Chain A
Amino acid sequence: MLRLIIRRIGLAIPTLIGVSIIVFILMTVVPGSPEAGLVPEDATPEERQAIRDQLGLDDPLPLRYVDWAIAALQGDLGHSQQRRREVADLLTQAWGNTFILALVSAAFGIALGLLLGYLAGTRRGKIADRFISVVSLGGLSIPSFFLAIILLGIFAGGLKWFPSGGASFDDPITALRSLVLPVLSGSLITMAITARVTRAGIVDVFGADFVETLRAKGLTEFEVRRHVLRNALSPVLTTSGVQIGALLGGSVLVETIFRWPGMGLLLYNAISARDLVVVQGATLVIALTFVIINLLVDLLQAAIDPRVRGAIA
């Protein structure tokens, strides 16, 4: 197990380096100058150059990347001139906000998805199954921003039940209220996917030979179901991991619409402002989160399902 972990971490390092190089290259070809927001429109070439020097924009590209990477390895993600903040500070703040939203969205989406998927899977072909299939298909197909706009119109502008945005953590009630609409908009797809995978898993496993064997062995229906669930859970775990990973990356659209100051919004704003250090730092954190979640999922899966252990080792 330990060797597996070490091997996977070893594999993750080139991935992370690659990701940061790709983003670095993308950001250098983006049109527009990073210093544009920092100097007035009538800045002299010297004033402009001073800021460019401060940002290190005219150093050769490989040097800029290596400088950044070495500092990052030492835990220094740099200072954002555009935000006048340490990048690490910005990331901590944004990641915390995204973490809360992602956790609640994932919990809500996965729990509801499991429930619906289970209900549908055990009632295959019945009305409940059909209804749930339609719901999850809808959830899969509705753009989150479209849903967000509708929810905003009804529940914030119209009924005034929930705030239209912002992450307010002053007290639990306000926090919960500010979470409702973003969570609903952002977790629908998680719910839909979890429901579909759960249903498929349950249907599959029920159809498998070993269930009959178990029944023949004289296990009670409850015990049979326990076995079924255990076996059906593996794919659910995988998709849940991917979902949590994606949610932790921050949902740009949900965060933009609901003014949720998380990773997605941070990264999006940084790209717009050509704030390279923030883009680099945020990408690194997002990719790292993704890699860690994947590793955790694989490990958990190996723990649950012995068949997988051989496959990923």
Chain B
Amino acid sequence: MKRRSKPARGMKRAALKLTSLLLFIAVVATACGGGGAGSSAEGGSGSGGTLSIAMSAANIPFPSTPPNQGYEGYRFVGNNIYDGLTRLDLDQDKTLPSPQPALAESWTMAPDLTTYTFKLRKDVKFHDGTDFNADAVIFQLDRLKDPEFEYYSQTDAANAASAVRYIDTWKKTDDYTVVMTTTQKYTWLQWDMLSVYYPSPAIVKQYGNQDYNQHATGTGPFTMTKYVDGEIMELTRNDSYWRGAAKLAKIVLYPQPEAASRLSMLQSGEVNWAEVPSPDAVAQLKTDGYQVFLGKYPHGIMPRFNMFREPFKDNLKLRQALNYALDREGTAALINEVGYPAKQWVYEGHPDYAPDNPGYSYDLAKAKQLLSEAGYGPGELKLNFGYTTGGSGNMFPDVMMQKLQADFKAIGVEVTLKPMEWTVLLSIGLDGLNSDKWDDIDVLWASPAAGMMPTLYNSAYMSKRPGGQPNATGLNDAKIDEYLTKASQQAEPADQHKYLQRMMDQTVDQAYFLFWMHDLNLRVMAPEITGYVHAQSWWVDFTTISVGEN
């Protein structure tokens, strides 16, 4: 028996040797294979520190113009590398941010409301040192609007289509003046211009559209110094930024679609900023000294009824019944109060909020009564509810949908939950619920940036989408069309809001949506972060933030 131990030890030694050898090889391989810049945790030159962010996107947004990954791409990548002609005043949290001069020093609207003249800022340089001027503006508009242009980018054009839809012509009148005409009377071009970013024409010409992303160059407060698709992006302070250099030395971005994993990243200290971590951890995080930010902003969950057919077409009482059946407070409790009950599409305090319309409370008796008036006894109505299981900016679909299912069951309406991937939900938005593929869906999840920009109402509200297609869920109300169109043709913002309020009023009266939850934009940061402003927006001003002793 004793003799056995010797070869066993030999075996063990061999195994250990093998392991250490392989580990060594792996280490060498990793060291060689990684490449890229030095450790991201270092602060870089000067003060301000490094902000490391766990985003909720599944990938690093493209640094293209525009970026992808929705508003998260604009928030972290777009607004940091680039500027638009206009920008939002994100350095305050008192009002809804609105367009302010940026690359355009000022703009004027001709009295006919179809011509915009933008005066450009003169002292602005791209990160590569070339000048920003009217040619750069024309270059980018050509890239997005003129299929004949040498540097026309089909993908960027498709992605930016909404923002440049109303531009009819564009020309420079001198080196620092650009004139744009619109396809119709239109007074929201300054909103559209927020998300048209200007890349350095020299860089686009040098690398072409195909390879541009690896060399993204703009005029923004940060320059892109490292970009590994799928893994990491590093942004470094642009010391000669025209608005004055940002305080932060660096921003490092990590994609992490899982809320629980973002929480782990924050807790293990890999990041000092986490987007929407699991809400149940909030109390713990506060105890641990983290800064937890919550605040109203234009984002809500407002499911859309299929208005192409029964049961919701021409059945106001049924739509109202379901709105009364929603236990919004209960839903808020389930997500640990990181959202709050919605009365209208936009939140109370938003300039487009219709005053004097109480909306729908949680009222089971009323809901049951309306349901029977709508022609359905308990157990007679079965609904298919399509919703997404993921995608950033969707709050907490699984938790909320299970609550909704229980709420509707309480008045005798069966809901079948149809979870779908985010891509599928987007596809439905394009195809419309009248398409054969999706016509079994009765109610569709929607997570609009409700009221962030007036330009965003169109696709949910207008009876026709651009190109003459019907509204994706079949909403068709001449009054709404009129209010929304008129709003976009008022020179004065006050008048615009007046029409939009009427639109909201009509929408609530007609119960075109399930007015369900507003998001509170949960964001958690390490204690050493200062200067952050929790604006009423999806976007953030990173120039005011610093990390470390200040």
Contacts and interface: CB of A to CB of B under 8 A. Distances in A.
On whether A and B touch (CB less than 8 Å), the answer reads: yes
Interface of A: 31-33, 35-48, 50-51, 54, 79, 81, 83-85, 90, 93-94, 96, 99-100, 103-104, 107-108, 111-112, 114-115, 118-119, 122, 149, 152-153, 156-158, 160, 162-172, 174-176, 179, 221-222, 225, 229, 256-257, 259, 261, 265-266, 269, 272-274
A35 B12 CA distance: 55
B431 A104 contact: no
A175 B161 contact: no
Interface of chain B, helix or strand or loop or mixed?
A: helix
Nearest to B64: A84
A259 B158 contact: no
Interface stretch (B175-183, B253-261, B318-326): B253-261
A169 B469 CA distance: 50
Q: 10 tightest A-B contacts by CB?
A: A169-B34, A44-B467, A107-B22, A164-B264, A36-B426, A32-B424, A175-B30, A36-B427, A42-B459, A157-B267
Given A84-B62, A115-B12, A32 B427 contact: yes
Contacts of B12: 115
Contacts of B159: 38-40
A175 B31 contact: yes
B39 A174 contact: yes
Given A33-B430, A107-B26, A122 B8 contact: yes
Contacts of A107: 18-19, 22-23, 26
A123 B466 CA distance: 76
A162 B157 CA distance: 43
Contact of B161 (A32, A40, A118, A171): A40
Contacts of A122: 4, 8
Given A31-B437, A37-B423, A257 B261 contact: yes
Contacts of B7: 221-222, 225
Max chain B Cβ within 10 angstroms of own Cβ: one of A32, A85, A108, A156: A32
A221 B472 CA distance: 79
Contacts of B34: 168-170, 175
B550 interface: no
A104 B231 contact: no
B348 interface: no
Interface of B: 3-4, 6-8, 11-12, 15-16, 18-19, 22-23, 25-31, 33-36, 38-40, 58-59, 62, 64, 68, 154-155, 157-159, 161-162, 165, 210, 213, 228-232, 254-256, 258, 260-261, 263-265, 267-270, 420-424, 426-427, 429-431, 437, 458-459, 465-467, 469, 472
B423 A165 contact: no
Interface centre among A41, A51, A165, A169 (most CB of B within 10 A): A41
A37 B68 contact: yes
Contact of B466 (A44, A93, A164, A166): A44
A97 B357 CA distance: 56
Contact of A31 (B155, B427, B459): B427
Given A43-B158, A51-B158, A269 B3 contact: no
A275 B429 CA distance: 19
B458 A42 contact: yes
Contacts of A108: 19, 22-23
